[in-house]
Structure 1
């Protein structure tokens, strides 16, 4: 089969000049390279205030004499930042994770369904009872459950 024959009469675009590649980006589409388009002038926005007018080294004599190291260090200003916390709740002198005011601090322990842990279907109501903390370590889900007291007065106690 020669190079000039077309296969199965499927449309194939004619071969184009390698200089005219349609996949190349236009200069107006090249956003990350401002130097590629030479037809546009880049603007200059001057600073809102002069930065070094009141500092040493702005005149030719000051540049020639140069500043001493002691003078350079005396004008340095340390960075002011918040004190580091202890990494848990990021509160300085904080103990443990911050507690939720709506949640109680007493852990619930293991929760077992009221019907001995087997769901028999029929109702979407889920109820459980606290059977105390297991002898082993609690899972993350069990450790997250806390007992909340009902302070509104309309209920009878625990929620």
Structure 2
């Protein structure tokens, strides 16, 4: 029974364990399917930290200035301005269209007034004016779109 239980390595008294080298593939969490002794290591194509501030001890003690740190930052890619469809300056793509009304509607009531049987299959409602109480978010989002007949005629 004692052979199957994990037993830590015995210490020689100096507290230093001998390096056993590369682990076997079955002892690692990542098995790449090849012998670890056959795998190589390819160095980077250029030294990454040679020209960077802080490679020497004196540079590490002095630290980088704010200007040096800001010079290393990569600016964020900006969102292209406008999509060409009625954009306002710094807007969210508001459409310039007849289907977008300017005037806010009031309280909306269904044709059955909420008390009768609903015979209407469409989603229609009538504006009965602004109520004294606060409007719900859904009602506040509804705006009136003028009918084509309601538009004033141009004077010549």
Alignment TM-score, normalising by the size of structure 2: 0.45
Higher helix share: 2
